[in-house]
Amino acid sequence: MPRSSNDKVPRDYVVDGAWPHAVLAPDAPVSAHYGQALARNIERALASSGHSLRTLADVTGITHSTISRVVNGRVLPDLGTLARLESAIGFQIWPGLAAVPPATPRPQ
């Protein structure tokens, strides 16, 4: 999927540990932090909802491979994908500003 900036995919900023609980590079962009928090939120949502990637794919109409790529930090979802995931799971998975570490400057 094309990105609107030159940011790499979130997983490419891992410097230590296993995605999505890894340590990101100090210069990782905000998009990497959002992608990491989103992946964690989807993991928790799958565990609490009882969905697998395939059952979530069936409910949302999103391919299980696309959901897997989001969870694995290989892609950031578009707004439509995010909306369909949240609607199917029944609660908010987009992390919002809570995903930005305090030391990371927010763009103006």
pLDDT tens track for 46-89: 999 889 999 999 999 999 999 999 999 999 999 999 999 999 99
Give residue 107's pLDDT.
60
Which residues, at least 6 apart from 36, have a Cβ–Cβ distance to it below 8 Å?
A: 10, 19, 20, 22, 24, 73, 99
pLDDT tens track for 16-32: 999 999 999 999 999 99
CATH of the domain at 24: 1.10.260.40
Domain membership of residue 102 (yes or no) is no
Give residue 19's pLDDT.
97
Domain membership of residue 47 (yes or no) is yes
Average pLDDT, the chain: 91
Domain count, the chain: 1
Top-confidence residue, 54 or 108: 54
Do 22 and 14 contact (CB within 8 A), yes or no?
yes
